[in-house]
Structure 1
């Protein structure tokens, strides 16, 4: 949530205004007057005035930039009275501030239990203590209006501090808690976004994003804010592309719009509306040509065209070469060739490979014991005597 101070190198900008922007926990900011003319710079921890007591925050902008930021955020002081910067925080102020921050999480858990016991339909998302510990701000989420007057009395009696309730939305809660988005970076709402605009599903339709709630929703359960970032670029690119409702008529049938690659200027059509059947991808120029022919009452043979400019009537199967056994023959030949190149002798007991009906037979290996048994079964030949010749 930081702002780059591009006027920090100009001394006149610091003297032109006494306003100072101070940031507190998470996204809460306030604007104060430096009436004491204290030399303040970005990153200083200061003690500022409050309705009761004082608060501790970090200086983020000074001089003219603080005045410009206040106008852009449309900040107005409470009751028209400006608060002042007291001093740079002392060690005693920092110790008291750290003690107050340690009480925030236990207070939030106990406050949730109290709200549940009172039967209130609300969720307390965060608690922020003032720098001196005399005031606590409870941030809650609720679908409708909640009567929390009794809750304030119970919280005041329990924690003995002044209670302030602030209702926030789901996007603001995600920004206060923080997290990592599906893009792998820190959430935009907790890093740099200050204003949350409504996001509709039409932004996803313009960008041809799959209407899957798990992919469209962010950490807050709402549609991702980044859907609005590039919607204008897609809408501008769509103006130079054919209308999605136009049906392309060919001799083989009708083709309906399925999806569009806006920046590659390629359009995919299907023979069935809203279903990926017989998908054909063509360029935007080819789509305009077919639309012009349909207006004249002509129908091309196919949507696709060859390099010579004629209609392509053949259909290709992109999975034709993805056979599971397409590498088997190559592996067998490579192994046998490697053995021959290495000079390894062929095993004597290996039967020669023969082909029967075009299929190689499996080589049969016999152990020495098996060969001896087969020799005994056949019988050894007797030697002929010389007298019997």
Structure 2
């Protein structure tokens, strides 16, 4: 849930609250908690839990006791107790959910280390706090330059001012121990404030700085992940991932935390599979596992000496062969089990792609008038084709040539018109042309 100030403007461009995670509604902060008990009233005779959860810069949270019985709600800016002076933070959780969070994080109530809430922050407190936050970025650049000049093997990742601007905490990462006594002297002389150095790990550094992961979303450590569990390369091996450090490492340089998310599901699925180092002994030869598919439940084996020919088996078939080997029962070959799998898994898929043209959307859309003209032209071409077909005649057979005779027939005298009419009557009738 984002605050109203982070919405889109009238011109369609995002405005942004420009508070860098400190907006009043606590909607765009890191590790935001939703209070699902906010609409429920406390029963009569019961008092609310007098502890509140207060968040500071970059997700740092702590629990404070509300000794003054202030009416606090989520999003209120309060002045809290600190080792020296006071600090300014934002209330992120109240009520009974604070008790649950303290129990989960093993924070005890009413101890010597318990801190309390002084008051709601006044406008003067907020102005001092805002000015101190504006100094952090230029101070970080200057602090890095000083560390480089002193040739210290460390990286200053972030600076956090206390709410009253009386102390600045420098967070840094380093592989080995660093002697920063001279560094603190120069920092105090340069920035004119109390200095505290705090070393953090690479995962904590990525959580404080934030960023976008390879999945395209914000880093889990900077949004919702609070506990950093150890991740080993065994998690990648169980999930059959290639051991490529460039793909398995996150922005912190360590193995990605998301490798542990699906590890339990893979471990449960692998319980049905035999171990890959177990060989299958048959009369044809000894077979070695080459590959497994956890999702479909298949294994591929190859005979020793025939590494190019793989035989597909199910996990149940492999376990059956292993049990037969332990019982010293003969197994002919793997082809028998592989043939059964091929019969069961062979499916006939329809030609779904061939039903429609893949380029049907590339052509411009035709109007109704153009479509009618096109249909009319098609009809005309069909009609002309039929007429040309009907006009075609059968090939005429040539009559045999008459023999030349020297004797000429005598010329017949009479009415020539009558002879022509008689010849027309005596002509054979033409057969109708049935080609059409």
Q: TM-score range by the shorter chain?
A: 0.7 to 0.9
Q: 1:124 aligns with which of 149, 153, 156?
A: 156
Listed one character per residue, the Cα deviations across residues 226-252 of structure 1 (whole Å, up to 9, x for unaligned) are 111222221122111111111234566
After superposition, the Cα gap between the structure-2 partners of 1:48 and 1:268, relative to the gap in structure 1 and judged at 3 Å, is same
Mean Cα displacement is larger for which, 159-168 or 111-120? Answer: 111-120
- Structure of larger gyration radius: 2
Preserved contact between residue 282 and residue 330 of structure 2 (Cα < 8 Å): no
After TM superposition, the score normalised by the length of structure 1 is: 0.72
Residue number in structure 2 paired with 1:216: 248
Cα distance in 2, alignment partners of residues 138 and 172 from structure 1: 14
Preserved contact between residue 269 and residue 281 of structure 1 (Cα < 8 Å): yes
Residue number in structure 1 paired with 2:38: 8
Residue number in structure 2 paired with 1:167: 199
Measured after TM superposition, the shift of residue 18 of structure 1 is 1.3
* Structure 2 counterpart SS, 1:16: coil
Q: 2:338 aligns with which of 302, 305, 309?
A: 305
Preserved contact between residue 155 and residue 173 of structure 2 (Cα < 8 Å): yes
Preserved contact between residue 311 and residue 334 of structure 2 (Cα < 8 Å): no
Measured after TM superposition, the shift of residue 286 of structure 1 is 2.3
Q: 2:62 aligns with which of 30, 36, 48?
A: 30
After superposition, the Cα gap between the structure-2 partners of 1:160 and 1:283, relative to the gap in structure 1 and judged at 3 Å, is same
Q: Does residue 155 in structure 1 map to residue 187 in structure 2?
A: yes
Cα distance in 2, alignment partners of residues 303 and 27 from structure 1: 61
Preserved contact between residue 156 and residue 162 of structure 1 (Cα < 8 Å): yes
Structure 1 residue ranges without an equivalent (≥5) = 312-339, 345-389
Cα distance in 2, alignment partners of residues 203 and 342 from structure 1: 72
Residue number in structure 2 paired with 1:207: 239
After superposition, the Cα gap between the structure-2 partners of 1:163 and 1:25, relative to the gap in structure 1 and judged at 3 Å, is same
Cα distance in 2, alignment partners of residues 308 and 175 from structure 1: 49
Residue number in structure 2 paired with 1:290: 321
Measured after TM superposition, the shift of residue 294 of structure 1 is 4.1
Measured after TM superposition, the shift of residue 185 of structure 1 is 1.8
Residue number in structure 1 paired with 2:51: 19
Cα distance in 2, alignment partners of residues 248 and 305 from structure 1: 14
After superposition, the Cα gap between the structure-2 partners of 1:70 and 1:301, relative to the gap in structure 1 and judged at 3 Å, is closer
Cα distance in 1, alignment partners of residues 379 and 331 from structure 2: 65
* Structure 2 counterpart SS, 1:153: helix
* Structure 2 counterpart SS, 1:70: helix
Structure 2 residue ranges without an equivalent (≥5) = 1-30, 345-377, 383-436
Listed one character per residue, the Cα deviations across residues 74-122 of structure 1 (whole Å, up to 9, x for unaligned) are 3479x92433222222333323222211111111111111112222211
Cα distance in 1, alignment partners of residues 304 and 254 from structure 2: 32
Preserved contact between residue 300 and residue 313 of structure 2 (Cα < 8 Å): yes
Cα RMSD, aligned residues only: 3.2
After superposition, the Cα gap between the structure-2 partners of 1:301 and 1:189, relative to the gap in structure 1 and judged at 3 Å, is closer
Measured after TM superposition, the shift of residue 57 of structure 1 is 1.2
